[in-house]
């Protein structure tokens, strides 16, 4: 039996395990909770708070809450399971009808990208549970500074910014075209309509935020100024400095809350397959 066949056999065994499906769905709940808190933190920035608004601050806020330690480990399990589920799906992906091989690899790369994001979030949650207090904004600036100082680093930083911006645009497109529905089985009636609206607003808001993050990284590359680079908090601050900035930030905050609620519903109605 070849290595590829063995990998697919193992992936099928994991996919068929009901307990793993439950854990994977719990990852969507974890993601929803994080975005709900992120939306609240972003709204606080809109009304004048000096606090940060990114995923690391969400985990730090959870750590400070009663039973925060247990909640962080629950998030770790959920994110890790969902990330592993994406990896399993990437192994099992096959061509659909007359689909070109390149399209299969495109879907596979998408699964790998999501797996990386969820596994990274699980790792951050575990680190905070163990006592770490990461600062995403400072880390982004430090890494950008290092990249700008080494040979070829500017290219890496630029490609990273471009990739994040493309990811943001893809979220915008998914929201506008409602393509997220292709991976869900929505109920009929008002509930289904509500989930659909939450998804549209949420995907657009997250797309806007990610696109700005990517643009900031590209600006940092072109200007050779690492201080311009940043994460989600940097994107929120950039929006805040615009005309009507507080209102724009409030709109993004509301969208992130919508995305969080949508993702909790997604735990129930998602089709756990990319094939």
The string of pLDDT tens digits covering residues 115-151 is: 888 998 999 899 998 888 777 667 777 777 777 787 7
**Burial class (CB within 10 angstroms; exposed 0-12, middle 13-18, buried 19+) of 70:** exposed
SS3 assignment, position 229: coil
Report how far apart, in Å, the C-alpha atoms of 44 and of each of 53, 64, 198, 252 are. Answer: 9, 18, 21, 12
The string of pLDDT tens digits covering residues 194-235 is: 999 999 999 999 998 888 888 888 887 877 766 666 677 777
Please say if the pLDDT value at position 2 is more than 70: no
Output the pLDDT for position 134: 72
CA-based end-to-end distance of the chain: 23
SS3 assignment, position 86: helix
SS3 assignment, position 270: strand
Tokens for 228, please give them: 């311009």
> Residue ranges per domain, the chain?
1-134, 136-263
Please say if the pLDDT value at position 9 is more than 70: no
The string of pLDDT tens digits covering residues 249-273 is: 899 899 999 999 999 999 999 887 6
In 3D space, the residue among 180, 14, 170 whose CA is nearest the CA of residue 87 turns out to be 14
The string of pLDDT tens digits covering residues 183-194 is: 888 998 999 999
Report how far apart, in Å, the C-alpha atoms of 254 and of each of 40, 46, 177, 196, 261 are. Answer: 8, 11, 20, 16, 11
In 3D space, the residue among 124, 145, 137, 117 whose CA is nearest the CA of residue 51 turns out to be 137
Which residues have CB under 8 Å from 236's CB, separation 6+?
A: 42, 45, 53, 209, 249, 252
pTM above 0.75, yes or no: yes
The string of pLDDT tens digits covering residues 16-29 is: 678 888 898 999 99
């Amino acid at each position: 039996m070849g290595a590829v066949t063995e990998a697919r056999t193992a992936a099928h065994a994991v996919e068929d395990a009901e307990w793993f499906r439950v854990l994977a769905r719990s990852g969507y709940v974890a993601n929803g909770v994080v975005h709900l808190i992120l939306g609240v933190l972003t709204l606080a920035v809109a009304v004048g708070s000096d606090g940060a608004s990114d995923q690391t601050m969400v985990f730090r806020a959870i750590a400070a809450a009663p039973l925060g330690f247990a909640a962080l480990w629950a998030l770790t399990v959920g994110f890790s399971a969902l990330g592993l589920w994406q990896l399993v799906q990437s192994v099992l992906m096959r061509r659909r009808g007359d689909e070109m091989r390149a399209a299969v690899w495109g879907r596979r790369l998408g699964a790998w990208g999501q797996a990386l994001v969820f596994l990274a979030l699980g790792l951050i949650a575990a680190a905070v549970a163990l006592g770490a207090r990461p600062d995403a904004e400072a880390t982004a600036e430090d890494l950008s500074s290092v990249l700008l100082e080494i040979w070829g680093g500017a290219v890496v930083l630029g490609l990273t910014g471009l990739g994040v911006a493309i990811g943001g645009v893809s979220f915008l497109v998914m929201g506008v075209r409602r393509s997220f529905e292709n991976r869900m089985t929505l109920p009929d009636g008002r509930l289904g309509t509500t989930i659909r609206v939450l998804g549209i607003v949420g995907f657009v808001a997250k797309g806007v935020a990610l696109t700005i993050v990517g643009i900031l990284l590209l600006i940092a590359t072109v200007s050779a100024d690492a201080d311009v680079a940043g994460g989600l908090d940097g994107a929120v601050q950039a929006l805040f400095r615009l005309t009507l900035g507080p209102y724009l930030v409030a709109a993004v905050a509301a969208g992130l809350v919508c995305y969080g609620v949508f993702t909790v519903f997604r735990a129930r109605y998602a089709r756990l397959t990319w094939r």
